[in-house]
């Protein structure tokens, strides 16, 4: 059952009462719970091996081996929805409004305007959820328990965000842009904004920051923002708003839902694991840290020859990756891998090597990337933070050599 | 007008349910009631091996409140994939009050928090866990 069908079913099926808010249920009423709460584990249009972490709102990740493609296909791209995708989308009537206190003038563009009045760009850009790796935090952090697969690098087609912002004009006091999308809040409140984040002007005006309508040469998939989304490569993917119909140019740090409080923020100064941190002491995450994954072989390989070909991906937020190494002795020694250049700035890089296992037994192959400023991935969980963001600890796979 | 109608429908359903529940109470599996502290017939029927099968939630006192009050908005997976102390669960509920339109849970709040803290308590995992659940397969090039 598609997520949207299920939602409608849920709204009306419990005892036939339309439920929009939990609060409509009289306290103490012993409702007969119908079987409509059943979870679903398959998402239409997704690879069957995608792991569904949450089915309302929908959140799903790829196991590492599914990310072996150079360009991530739509079947394998992670899904991180905060609300419910809009339905009954009429692309002929869809518009994007650019306004805000630091916009010189308000501009309203149709999809056709966007496709014809600006120079089109096609770029491969890496999107990674800020909470990718959260499942390893101890004490545990709240939220979707992503392990490794909330990352993807498809090819996006659209126009530069900068070109559209320039059409509206930017006042000298402009500091931030924010997006608004048409997804619906889980509570059913039509007026409630699900998520509205953004980026500082300097990031918005980069050549790689896009307003995109296509992914891998096709219209955006419905789950990934059809018909229009932002793509802000290298930053937490929540900056890349989906189903967008409005951009605001702000004279302050944008203050939409999930910009403030503890959302997509980490302690400004490091804290001991488990520390409660006040909102005022939390700082907004910008570039994601250096990270790599082993996409081949899939963990659990039993080999009968000592040579094992390995490959994977590496990325470093706003930076590029300088080197990738592997270890088969838990980091005592590291061997270099061959590393390709990115297809363009902010695209992930492909690496490969051949491991030689010295004798029979159980091995873990660990990969470690280093960015072009010399920062490498840690082998253990890096700085604990209350919401479990930015875990860029080395990925590892299990391999057994039997003769 | 619509609101009045909705309220009437709710009240009517409430009455129907009350009458309906009289018969059902007779057939409640007394063992499960004792084990899990659950009295709702439908919820009990869906429990197998300690798990409420449709949602994957652990059977226990308070599950009915969770099913009704929590899952009318979000998936049970948001619960089953998380671990927290009573304070941690309380802070998540408070976040939902403040930002997600969750109406006050009233008397259900302590029941729900006690259920969550008992069945979804944090475990210590250290800085890196051993790899587990490895699905071994033969790799041939």
Q: State which residue of chain A sits closest to B96, comparing Cα positions.
A: A187
Instruction: Tell me what pLDDT residue A156 has.
Output: 98
Q: Report the distance separating Cα A364 and Cα A372, nearest Å.
A: 26
Q: Give me chain B's average pLDDT, please.
A: 81
ipTM of the complex: 0.77
**What's the mean pLDDT in B83-92?**
94
Task: For residues A27-51, give the mean pLDDT.
Answer: 67
**Domain A291-401, classified CATH 2.60.120.380, yes or no:** no
Confidence at B36, pLDDT banded by 50, 70, 90: confident
Q: Would you state the pLDDT for residue A62?
A: 97
pLDDT category at B42 given cuts 50, 70, 90 is confident
pLDDT score recorded for residue A23: 41
Q: What is the pLDDT of residue A11?
A: 35
CA distance B125 to A274: 13
Confidence of residue A127 (pLDDT cuts 50, 70, 90): very high
Could you give the count of Cα atoms lying within 13 Å of A229 in the half-sphere of its Cβ?
Answer: 27
Tell me the count of A-B CB pairs closer than 8 A: 159
Looking at CA atoms only, how far is residue B60 from chain A in angstroms?
15
Contact partners, residue A396, CB within 8 Å, separation at least 6 = A294, A364, A365, A366, A367, B131
pLDDT tens, residue by residue, A252-275: 999 999 999 999 999 999 999 999
Are the beta carbons of A36 and A19 closer than 8 angstroms? Answer: no
Binned at pLDDT 50, 70 and 90, residue A22 comes out as very low
| A262: nearest CA partner in chain B | B95
Residue pair A289/A272 in contact (Cβ under 8 Å)? The answer is no
Chain B residues within 8 A of A22 when measuring between CB atoms: 68-70, 72-73, 102-103
Q: Where are the domains of chain A?
A: 95-284, 291-401
Do A197 and A239 form a contact (C-beta atoms < 8 A)? yes
Task: Return the pLDDT at A20.
Answer: 40
Over pLDDT 90: what percentage of chain A? Answer: 87
What value does the mean pLDDT take over residues A327-352? 98
Nearest residue of B to residue A383, measured between CA atoms:
B127
* pLDDT tops 50 at residue A140: yes
Query: Which is the CATH superfamily of the domain at A95-284?
Result: Oxidoreductase, molybdopterin-binding domain (3.90.420.10)
CA distance A283 to chain B (A): 19
Nearest CB to A37 within list B55, B108, B134: B55
Q: Which helix (H) or strand (E) holds A244?
A: strand A244-250
A115-119, A155-159, A196-200, B73-77: lowest mean pLDDT where?
A: B73-77
Q: Chain B partners of A364 at a C-beta cutoff of 8 Å? A: 131
Instruction: Identify the weakest region by mean pLDDT among A137-146, A206-215, A247-256.
Output: A137-146
Residues shown for chain B? 141
Three-state DSSP at A58 gives: strand
Q: Would you say residue A386 has pLDDT above 60?
A: yes
Quick check: B82 and A57 CB within 8 A? no
| pLDDT bucket at A55, cuts 50 / 70 / 90 | confident
Could you give the CA distance from residue A126 to residue A292 in angstroms, rounded to a whole number? 12
How far lies A164's CA from each of A100, A105, A106, A114, A282, in Å? 14, 12, 11, 8, 31
Matching fold, domains A95-284 and A291-401? no
Give yes or no for a contact between A378 and A368, defined as CB atoms under 8 angstroms apart. no
- Per-residue pLDDT, averaged over A331-335, amounts to 97
Q: Where are the domains of chain B?
A: 29-119
Q: What is d(CA A263, CA A266) in angstroms, rounded to the nearest whole number?
A: 8
Residues of A in contact with B141 (CB under 8 A): 305, 309
In chain B, count H helices and then E strands.
Answer: 7, 4
C-beta atoms of B83 and A140 within 8 A: yes
Check CB contact under 8 Å for A39 and B55.
Answer: yes
- Compare A22 and A299 and report the one with higher pLDDT: A299
> What is the rounded CA–CA span in Å between residue A196 and residue A150?
20
Lowest mean pLDDT among A11-15, A18-22, A155-159, B26-30: A11-15
Averaged pLDDT, A102-123: 98
Give the C-alpha separation, A294 to A367, whole Å.
7
Q: How far apart are CA A243 and CA A181, in angstroms?
A: 5
Helices (DSSP H) in B1-141: which residue ranges? 2-26, 30-36, 41-45, 63-65, 77-80, 86-99, 108-119
User: A329-354: b or e for each residue (b if 16 or more CB lie within 10 Å)?
Assistant: eeeeebeebebeebbebbbbbbbebe
% of chain A residues with pLDDT over 70: 90
pLDDT at A9 over 50: no
Give the model's pLDDT for residue B41. Answer: 81
**pLDDT for B110:** 96
Residue B141's pLDDT is: 72
Does pLDDT of A132 surpass 60? yes
Q: Which has the closest alpha carbon to A86: A23, A163, A4, A27? A: A4
Interface test mutation site (partner B, options A15, A33, A196, A277, max chain B beta carbons within 10 A): A33
| pLDDT tens digits for range A206-219 | 999 999 999 999 99
Share above pLDDT 70 across residues of chain B, in percent, rounded to a whole number: 75
pLDDT at A26: 40
How far is A64 from A149, CA to CA, in rounded Å?
Answer: 6
Q: Quickly state the pLDDT bin for A80 (edges 50, 70, 90).
A: very high
Q: Residue A173: which pLDDT band, with cuts at 50, 70 and 90?
A: very high
Res. B32: pLDDT tops 80: no
């Amino acid at each position: 059952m598609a997520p949207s069908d299920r939602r409608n079913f849920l709204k009306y099926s419990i005892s036939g009462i339309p439920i929009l808010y939990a609060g409509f249920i009289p306290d103490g009423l012993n409702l007969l719970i119908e079987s409509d709460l059943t979870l679903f584990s398959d998402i239409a249009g997704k690879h069957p091996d995608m792991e569904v972490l949450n089915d309302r709102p929908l959140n799903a990740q790829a196991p590492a081996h599914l990310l072996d493609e150079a360009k991530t296909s739509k079947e394998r791209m992670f899904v991180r929805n905060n609300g419910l995708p809009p339905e009954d989308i009429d692309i002929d009537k869809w518009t994007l409004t650019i306004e805000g206190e630091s916009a010189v003038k308000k501009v309203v563009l149709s999809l056709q305007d966007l496709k014809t009045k600006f120079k089109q760009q096609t770029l491969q850009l890496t999107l990674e959820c800020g909470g990718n790796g959260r499942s390893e935090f101890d004490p545990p952090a709240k939220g979707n328990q992503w392990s490794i697969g909330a990352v993807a690098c498809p090819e996006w087609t659209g126009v530069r965000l900068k070109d559209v912002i320039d059409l509206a004009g930017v006042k000298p006091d402009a500091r931030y842009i924010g997006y608004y999308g048409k997804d619906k809040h889980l509570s059913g409140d039509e007026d409630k904004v699900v998520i509205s984040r953004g980026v500082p002007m300097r990031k918005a005006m980069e050549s790689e920051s896009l307003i995109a309508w296509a992914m891998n040469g096709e219209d955006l998939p419905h789950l990934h923002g059809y018909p229009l989304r932002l793509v802000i490569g290298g930053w937490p993917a929540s900056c890349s708003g989906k189903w967008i119909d409005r951009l605001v140019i702000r004279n302050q740090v944008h203050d939409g839902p999930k910009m403030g409080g503890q959302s997509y923020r980490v302690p400004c100064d490091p804290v001991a694991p488990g520390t409660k941190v006040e909102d005022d002491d939390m700082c907004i995450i910008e570039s994601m840290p250096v990270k790599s994954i082993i996409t081949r072989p899939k963990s659990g390989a039993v080999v009968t020859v000592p040579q094992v070909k390995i490959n994977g991906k590496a990325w470093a937020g706003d930076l590029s990756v300088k080197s990738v190494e592997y270890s088969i002795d838990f980091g005592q020694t590291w061997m270099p891998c061959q590393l390709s250049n990115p297809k363009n700035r902010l695209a992930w890089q492909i690496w490969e090597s051949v491991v030689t296992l010295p004798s029979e037994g159980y091995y873990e192959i660990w990969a470690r990337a280093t960015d072009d400023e010399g920062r490498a991935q840690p082998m253990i969980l890096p700085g604990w933070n209350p919401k479990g963001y930015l875990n860029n600890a080395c990925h590892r796979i299990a391999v057994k050599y039997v003769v | 007008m619509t609101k009045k109608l909705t309220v009437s429908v709710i009240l009517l359903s409430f009455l129907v349910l009350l009458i309906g529940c009289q018969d059902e109470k007779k057939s409640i599996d007394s063992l499960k009631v004792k084990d899990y502290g659950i009295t709702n017939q439908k919820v009990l029927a869906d429990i197998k091996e300690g798990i409420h099968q449709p949602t994957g939630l652990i059977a226990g006192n308070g599950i009915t409140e969770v099913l009704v009050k929590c899952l009318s908005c979000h998936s049970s997976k948001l619960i089953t994939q998380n671990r927290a102390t009573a304070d941690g669960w309380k802070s998540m509920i408070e976040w939902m009050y403040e930002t997600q339109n969750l109406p006050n849970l009233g008397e259900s709040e302590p029941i729900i928090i006690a259920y969550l803290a008992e069945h979804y308590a944090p475990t210590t995992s250290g800085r890196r866990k051993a790899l587990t659940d490895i699905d071994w397969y033969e790799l041939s090039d």
